[in-house]
Chains A and B, each alone.
Chain A
Amino acid sequence: MIATWPCPLADGAVSEELLVTIGEGDAASLLIIPPLFAEQNLMRRQLVLIMRHLADAGITSHLPDLPGWNESLLPSSEQSLATWRVAMSEAARHLDATHVLAVRSGALLVPSGLKGWLYAPQSGDKLIRTMIRAQGIADREAGKAEASDQMMDKGRIEGLQLVGWDVSSELFRDLQSADFPGGDLLTVISQEEAGGSGLWLRAEPGEDLKQAQQIASLIANSIPSSSSEDA
């Protein structure tokens, strides 16, 4: 089901953001947090596949947009990690989330207190370094040469456009020092456990049915089914 959810903004206004919900089961309400920037587009198809498999296991899952993401009408250049974290916590509350599945840099936005899984989590620093590297390669191809250090300074001071994404100085600095949470509530799903390869590595969005089934099973197997006859 495709709907919207009311995302509260820092200035007190509300932004209606896209929400994809799949499943009607009551075993769990799972909040899905996709990776940030380019990897979000590359992973969306695979995430929806995982959601379909979760629905078969009685788990309802939700994939909300945040301001500046995907279909959002708000510019990405005006967002910060802090506002995204608040927004994701609000989404969890609005959706009565019982669990969370965060993928790659989506792990930086996990609301505190939720049980769940981090699939191949990535730190903010590594995300920024990879985007800077990609921009550097594209610049060199275009005959421009700006060293990574210069781009880093520019990002911290005035913000910059990285591989097509407007990153504000605040978001840039936030990301540089952001790490994903640990603790007993969260379990890391490694690439070995998921099987196949990380689809965010590809140049085009792809899907891997077997991997989607595997990730959904890893999650479903550790959530007791409330609709099960054995329960």
Chain B
Amino acid sequence: MCTQPAQTEEHDVSTQEENLSETDTALKSIIADVLGLEAATVNEFTPETGLFGHLPELDSMAVAGLLTEMEDRLGFIIEDDDVDGEMLETYGGLLEFAHTKRVEA
């Protein structure tokens, strides 16, 4: 992690927000593909929307496909240790994970 210079802090905050919204859109599109849902339905997902363990469509193979699609479309690598129950349990958890990975990448 590097420390951002003070004079660009404001700019960085807005860039980060843009990145988060971009990640949100991309992640919802991947989930729509994996679950076979319409974009409008996935757009209603909130941070609390339950994923793995809540949606029967998300079996282990579908989750593996979801993670591989995230790597391909969002441009980062997901390690074994990254995958835990918390990250997969809710949409908010998955989005936060993806956003952090993108910032680090």
Contact = CB atoms under 8 A, between A and B. Distances in A.
B67 A201 contact: no
Given A126-B68, A202-B35, A147 B80 contact: yes
B94 interface: no
A127 B33 CA distance: 18
Question: Majority SS of interface residues in chain A?
Answer: helix
A181 interface: no
A149 B81 CA distance: 12
Interface string A203-220: 110100000000000000
B83 interface: yes
Given A129-B68, A147-B80, A148-B80, A134 B61 contact: yes
B65 A163 contact: no
Interface residues of B, number: 21
Contacts of A131: 64
Contacts of B33: 197-198, 201
A196 to B, nearest CB: 9
Of the four ranges (under 10, 10 to 19, 20 to 34, 35 or more), the interface on chain A belongs to 20 to 34
A98 interface: no
A197 B67 contact: no
Nearest to B30: A201
Interface of B: 32-36, 56-69, 80, 83
**Which 6 interchain pairs have the tightest Cβ spacing?**
A134-B64, A197-B33, A138-B60, A133-B64, A137-B60, A134-B61
Interface of A: 38, 126, 129-131, 133-138, 141, 147-149, 163, 197-198, 200-204, 206
Given A137-B63, A198-B33, 11 more contacts: A130-B64, A130-B65, A134-B63, A135-B60, A136-B80, A137-B60, A200-B65, A201-B65, A201-B66, A202-B34, A202-B62
29 contacts: A38-B61, A130-B64, A130-B68, A131-B64, A133-B64, A133-B67, A133-B68, A133-B83, A134-B61, A134-B63, A134-B64, A135-B60, A136-B80, A136-B83, A137-B60, A147-B80, A163-B60, A197-B32, A197-B33, A198-B33, A201-B33, A201-B34, A201-B65, A201-B66, A202-B57, A203-B56, A203-B58, A203-B59, A204-B57
